[in-house]
Amino acid sequence: MLLVNSTMYRSFLLAFVMLSVASAKAQENSPFSRYGVGDLYPQQTIASRAMGGVTAAFTSPQAINTVNPASYGFIPQVTFDVGISIDQRTLKSKSPLLNYSSANFLPSYVMIGVPLNRLKGWGAAFGIKPVARINYSVEELVQNGNADTLQKLHQGNGGLTQAFIGIGKRWGKHITGTNFSIGLNAGYEFGRRQTDNIINYIDSTPFTKSNYSATTTYSGVFINPGAMLSIGFGKKQDKITKVYESYQLRIGASANIQHNLNASQNSIVESFDYDANGAIVPLDTIKIQNGITGKLVIPLNYTVGFMLSNLLTDYGVSKWSIGADYTGGKWSDYRFYGQPDQVVNNWMLHAGGEFTPNLTSANGFSRAIYRLGFYTGKNYINADGNGYDEKAVTFGVGFNLRKYRGQYDNQQTLINTAIEIGKRGSTVNNVTENYFKLSVGFSLSDLWFVKRKYD
């Protein structure tokens, strides 16, 4: 008979509720989310985000890397991980000259990693995380030939969420020597997009206001394979601490395979007016269509990279690590009901590293994990036809709340933080965005399942 650790069980339920509430309450106005599937969420854990987002070859006994499921073969104990983010965004428009700022509380993920067979290198993970969000309100003012001002208001909200389960297998030595691992995530993606396109003649009373409103729901399955190759070398013993160290070069790659989401759309064209409180009051229904079926084509996205680590072989963790990733997406293949959108193939270079002064120190700052990195590249959204460069610097700290006692320590508690300071767009774009993101992750590793010795 098995006992489930009650602390982790309650933590999982609490985090799931937090994720649901945060999804419902996250508010912003991002005109970029009008295109494609919306603004993409970072898929990395908080630990990886502080290192510039490197994931292709990243493994850690204190973190779950869901971007590359080949990392599951390195999970040493059951690990529960939840993350949230708070971001401050400032939009700047050159014509007309406008600024808009918003602060948003956003969920990041809720997930659990499980070592199915630690000695044979089997591991698994499952969880839920947002993929993209849609939230925008864009106004256009057009002067027509009759000297009337035509107001076009485009509004939208919604997003895309992913529930997944994955498994990984490792062959070879865990800490030193050479090992190879593969993994696969599979799951269910589901989302919703509601759009309103309102036309209003501001200066002319004879014309009624009109609105074309559409609500689209979509869902489907996806698969995400990954692989890693690790090469260990240079084993030696520190003369002072007597701890054995070695180096490990790890190379990894993963991909989200192109897949389709089945969609259903309800739409309505109507005339309306506003009441005293500014709410829409329908006047006449012009056209209604329900249950219009179609597909969303989500294109191939891939990640390749490397990581070099100085491993403490007696503890199973790294003293320091540096790495880099290249990510790309064939977003020119994206389709919504057979139609392309203002999106392009994107790419991003991620680089960063982490360092721990003394993992076994009684001093909390000495055993903390310090991380630094950056990313730069081209965003997949192409709203104005000029493309959007994106770049950011990242840094953060992982606080070990208890002293590490070795690779067979069955309980660890870690609070990870990450700060991103970046910009989307450049001088060639009319609208640019500066952002500041603060992310916090809580990672708890413990004995989740324990066999009863006595009934």
Confidence of residue 176 (pLDDT cuts 50, 70, 90): low
Confidence of residue 12 (pLDDT cuts 50, 70, 90): very low
pLDDT at 412: 76
Nearest to 76 by CA among 395, 317, 362: 317
pLDDT at 167: 97
Residue 424 has pLDDT above 70, yes or no: yes
The phi, psi pair for 15, rounded to 5°, reads -65, -40
Nearest to 73 by CA among 131, 117, 135, 137: 117
pLDDT at 281: 76
Which of 139-153, 174-188, 327-341 reaches the highest mean pLDDT? 327-341
pLDDT at 21: 45
pLDDT at 173: 73
Residue 75 has pLDDT above 60, yes or no: yes
The phi, psi pair for 195, rounded to 5°, reads -125, 145
Q: How far apart are CA 150 and CA 152, in angstroms?
A: 6
Confidence of residue 17 (pLDDT cuts 50, 70, 90): very low
The phi, psi pair for 16, rounded to 5°, reads -65, -40
Which letter does DSSP use for residue 148 in this model? Answer: P
The residue assigned the tokens 């007696």 is 314
Nearest to 169 by CA among 188, 151, 182: 182
Higher-confidence residue: 238 or 110?
110
Average pLDDT, the chain: 86
CB 165 within 8 A of CB 174: no
Residues pairing with 417 in the sheet: 440
Confidence of residue 73 (pLDDT cuts 50, 70, 90): very high
Cα dihedral 9/10/15/21 (nearest 10): 130
Nearest to 59 by CA among 185, 227, 243: 227
| Structural class in CATH, domain 2-207+214-265+298-451 | mainly beta
Cα dihedral 17/21/24/28 (nearest 10): -130
Please report, as a single letter, which amino acid is at residue 439: S
Confidence of residue 365 (pLDDT cuts 50, 70, 90): confident
Residue 132 has pLDDT above 60, yes or no: yes
Q: How far apart are CA 199 and CA 209, in angstroms?
A: 6
Please report, as a single letter, which amino acid is at residue 185: N
pLDDT at 205: 60
Average pLDDT over residues 409-426: 87
Confidence of residue 1 (pLDDT cuts 50, 70, 90): very low
Q: How much is the pTM?
A: 0.87
The phi, psi pair for 30, rounded to 5°, reads -120, 105
The residue assigned the tokens 């309980």 is 411
CB 389 within 8 A of CB 381: no
CB 226 within 8 A of CB 256: no
Q: How far apart are CA 387 and CA 344, in angstroms?
A: 8
Range of weakest confidence among 2-6, 34-38, 101-105: 2-6
Tokens coding 145: 């030939």
Higher-confidence residue: 351 or 75?
351
Q: What is the pLDDT of residues 201-224, one digit of tens each?
A: 776 666 778 889 999 999 999 999
Confidence of residue 23 (pLDDT cuts 50, 70, 90): very low
In the chain, how many H helices and how many E strands? 2, 20
Q: What is the pLDDT of residues 241-294, one digit of tens each?
A: 677 888 999 999 999 999 999 999 999 998 887 777 777 777 788 889 999 999
Average pLDDT over residues 107-115: 93
pLDDT at 144: 66
pLDDT at 293: 97
Tokens coding 408: 């067979």
How far is the CA of 427 from the CAs of 227, 348, 375, 436, in angstroms?
A: 39, 19, 19, 20
